[in-house]
Amino acid sequence: MRFMVIVKATADSEAGVMPSEELLAAMGRYNEELVKAGVMKAGEGLHPSSRGVRVKFSGSQRSVVDGPFAETKELIAGFWLWEVASLQECIDWVKRCPNPMPGDSEIEIRQIFEAEDFGAEFTPELREQEERLRAQISQE
């Protein structure tokens, strides 16, 4: 099972406060554990929303809204992509994580859809396209 593990933003992360050397070292050790266990597939921190944009869709129209975005509790400061056997295993790994922020923080766990989750609508042709794209991505 694959999961996106989402580090929620805080007022500090949105203000651009960088993690301490101590926290960076602790997260580095934690990431090493994840990689050695074969769990971590990707992971990155994100710049504050003041450096981002949102593209809004309304029918065929597109509009761009510049950050920052008001609701800090709804924003993402970073993420991992993990592959584990179960949600419980994912939770167990998250509980071992150093606190990713200087103060209180929150990590959200969301399961990633797999091809079989889409049912009959995901036709053999669409499955073939998906497999081809994944193969191309893994070669880069």
Place of tokens 């050397």: 21
So what's the pLDDT on residue 96? Answer: 97
d(Cα 92, Cα 84) in Å, to the nearest integer? 11
Helices and strands: H and E segment counts in the chain: 4, 6
| Residue 18 structure tokens | 């960088």
CB–CB of 5/79 below 8 Å?
yes
What is the predicted pLDDT for the residue at 36?
98
How crowded is residue 127: how many other Cβ atoms within 10 Å of its Cβ? 13
pTM metric for this prediction: 0.89
Residue 98 is encoded by which pair of tokens?
A: 């150093």
Q: Compute the C-alpha angle 18/20/24, nearest 5°.
A: 95
Read off the pLDDT of residues 38-76 as tens digits, 9 standing for 90 and up. 999 999 999 999 999 999 999 999 999 999 998 888 899
Block residue for tokens 């592959």: 83
Domains of the chain: residue spans and CATH: 2-139 (3.30.70.1060)
